[in-house]
Amino acid sequence: MNKFRFTIHALAVLVFTLAFASLAQAQATRTWVSGVGDDANPCSRTAPCKTFAGAISKTAAGGEIDALDPGGFGAVTITKAITLDGGGGQNASVLTAGTNGINISAAATDVITINNLRFQGLSQTANPGLSAIRVNTAKGVIVTNCLIENWGVNGIDDVRNAGGFLEINNTSITNCTQNGVNINPSSGATSPHLHMANSNVQGSGSNGLLLGSNVRAVIYNSVIAQSVGAGVFAQQTAGGATDVNVDQCVVSHNVVGFQANTAGATIRVSNTTAIGNANLATIVGGGIVSSYGNNQTAGGSFPSTGTGQQ
């Protein structure tokens, strides 16, 4: 009897150990994807997965998914804090038709980091992708060293209405059918803060950047060019203020360089070259576009002088 009980106990311990090991493997803090991987794998370095969607369920919250080699790693929905990294010097891509590339619907405390990825939306085909990155909910989203091109809606589409931040660094967003960067909350008085630096937004079918109600934005050392609408468009559709600061940028060859719609929408411009725009600045319904007096312009003048002019 004692031997039987010992055997049952040992079996139970073994089952528990195997189950724990399986769970730990399924929720590794770092996983890998490869162009020759398989989503049936554990997503380890020696047995990588094929797609981000396959790897994310096996990656712990706060963990990281890395690309081992070039490949197309597919669309993914992110519901937890995570880092996606395509690795330096290789073509790690997300190519989709008819959907968003990355959907982010995470908790209000989660930060998502997206590094070194190429997003291809196939906008000149019969079934283009929607937006490369769509942010529904999250505390923060950081996009660094990415190439976003040819999307059928927006390059980055942020619709959060409960605050948070969006950081865009060293990123190129080109040839999107609507806006390159679209931060347009559906409602709410607390909207995301945008910081964009060392980036390019070019060839947008509507606006380079559309910044909606109560957005606070700083755009630094970036190029915003060749938009069918405005290079920088600020609008305020409810009580509050949309406040946009553009510093050390090139804003060129847009139909409108800067446009502020309705009272409460303000764009302040400093140390910026704004040339080749059909209209330098447009204001509608009490919006403000102001210069600190240290810009290089051609094709018009700024409507007002910004507070703190030097």
Exposure letters 258-282 (e unless 16+ CB within 10 A, then b): bbbbbebbbbbbbebebebbeebbb
Q: Which residue in the block uniquely carries the two structure tokens 């040839």?
A: 175
Distance CA 119, CA 101 (A): 7
> What size, in residues, is the chain?
310
Task: Give the SS3 label for residue 240.
Answer: coil
pLDDT computed for residue 301 by the predictor: 80
Q: What is the pLDDT of residue 303?
A: 80
pLDDT at 240: 83
Distance CA 271, CA 284 (A): 24
Q: Calculate Rg over the CA atoms of the chain.
A: 23
Q: Do 155 and 135 touch, CB atoms closer than 8 A? A: no
Q: What is the rounded CA–CA span in Å between residue 138 and residue 12?
A: 41
Q: Residue 52 has what pLDDT? A: 97
Sign of the torsion formed by the C-alpha atoms of 220, 86, 173 and 106: negative
Q: How many CB atoms lie under 10 A from the CB of residue 46?
A: 8
Identify the CATH homologous superfamily for domain 60-305: Single-stranded right-handed beta-helix, Pectin lyase-like (2.160.20.10)
Which whole-number Å values give the CA distances from 140 to 24, 167, 198, 286, in the listed order?
27, 8, 19, 31
Give the pLDDT confidence score for residue 14 in this predicted structure: 46
Decide: 79 and 70 in contact? Cβ < 8 Å. no
Number of helices (H), then strands (E), belonging to the chain: the values are 2, 31
Q: Are 50 and 37 in contact (CB under 8 A)?
A: yes
Coil/strand/helix, residue 295? coil
Any residues with CB less than 8 A from the CB of 192 and at least 6 apart, and which?
Answer: 135, 158, 160, 163, 164, 165, 166, 183, 185, 215
**Alpha carbons 156 and 211: distance in angstroms, whole number:** 12
In this structure, which amino acid lies at residue 245? N
Contact 147, 119 (CB under 8 A): yes
Instruction: For the chain, 310 residues long, give each residue's pLDDT as a single digit of tens.
Output: 555 454 545 444 444 444 444 444 558 999 999 999 999 999 999 999 999 999 999 999 999 999 999 999 999 999 999 999 998 767 889 999 999 999 999 999 999 999 999 999 999 899 999 999 999 999 999 999 999 999 999 999 999 988 999 999 999 999 999 999 999 987 666 889 999 999 999 999 999 999 999 999 999 999 999 999 999 999 998 778 999 999 999 999 999 999 999 899 999 999 999 999 999 999 998 899 999 999 999 877 888 655 433 3
